[in-house]
């Protein structure tokens, strides 16, 4: 992630957006400074989805 963020900054990006499922990595991204900006609630057939954003 650090390499990807450094490369993004070098290319002039001002933010990064990721999305993940509830059983994957929402806490991982939050520890890296990403903020949850939206969710799609879980259903009986699908886990919750989180959308996260980080400004540079």
pLDDT mean for each 10 residues of the chain (56 residues): 95 97 97 98 97 97
pLDDT at 17: 97
pLDDT at 27: 97
Domain 2-55 CATH assignment equals 3.40.50.10140: no
Helix (H, G, I), strand (E, B) or coil at 3: helix
Domain range summary for the chain, segments of one domain joined by +: 2-55
Quick one: tokens of 49? 């989805």
Question: Which pLDDT does position 36 carry in this prediction?
Answer: 98
* Total residue count of the chain as it appears in this document: 56
Contact 13, 7 (CB under 8 A): no
pTM score above 0.95: no
């Amino acid at each position: 992630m650090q390499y990807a963020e450094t490369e993004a900054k070098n290319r002039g990006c001002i933010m990064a957006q990721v999305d993940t499922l509830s059983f994957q990595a929402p806490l991982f991204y939050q520890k890296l400074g990403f903020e949850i900006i939206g969710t799609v609630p879980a259903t009986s057939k699908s886990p919750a989805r989180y959308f996260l954003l980080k400004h540079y």
